[in-house]
Amino acid sequence: METKVRKRSVSEVLRGHLMAIIFFVAVFGFFIYGISSAERNSASEGRKVLEENLRKAVVSCYALEGAYPASVQYLEENYGLTYDKDKYAIGYVAFASNIMPDMQVIELEEAEADAP
């Protein structure tokens, strides 16, 4: 019995490899997009968690002491508030001890990246 071997032309070989390369690049592109999307969601979630923890600490202080704290440092020292100071900044303005302070969490990396 004789086996026939079909010789493929160079263009047929290149076309086959080109399809594999295109498929690989497409899959790799989707993978990179998924990772960057997950990183954005993680950063946003971290900010939300810090805002929630800050609000809980402020309300706990008011409930226990009858007055809102004068500063974020007071919350850190007495209520265990911790956060990454290299990544976040907290804007905290206390008007009076019986009025809830104005609080804002700012992501520093985002602000530095947007700066000209």
Residue ranges in the chain whose pLDDT is less than 70: 1, 5, 110-116
**Domain boundaries defined on the chain:** 10-114
For the whole model, what pTM was predicted? 0.63
| Residue 111 pLDDT | 46
Taking phi over 0 as left and psi of -120 to 50 as alpha, with beta for the rest, 53 belongs to: alpha
Q: Which residue has the tokens 């076309």?
A: 15
